Amino acid sequence: MADPNELTPNELTMDELRERIRVAGITVAEHRLAMVRRLLADALAPVRALDSRTIRTVEPAVKFVPEAKGDSRE
């Protein structure tokens, strides 16, 4: 059986998690960090499993910018 504290290749280290929490400007109690790391890994698992190369790209939407009043181009 695998050690639940063992990191998978895509999982954050505790230092990386602390840095992300600091940058986000939130406070998480030290005793909750392991739980937050596990929840984050579980939440991101479907995204990480996705092969973006198989998704058809879509062209960006066309943006129409109205001309300013009195601007006539004839």
Per-residue model confidence as pLDDT tens digits over 19-71: 999 999 999 999 999 999 999 999 988 988 888 888 887 888 788 888 777 65
Averaged pLDDT for residues 5-13: 68
Tokens read off for 55 = 């998704």
Q: Are 5 and 34 in contact (CB under 8 A)?
A: yes
1 falls in which pLDDT band (50, 70, 90)? very low
| pLDDT (0 to 100) of residue 59 | 80
Q: pTM for the full model?
A: 0.56
Instruction: Tell me: pLDDT of 14 over 70.
Output: yes
Is residue 28 within 8 A of residue 12, CB to CB? The reply is no
Q: Report pLDDT for 7.
A: 56
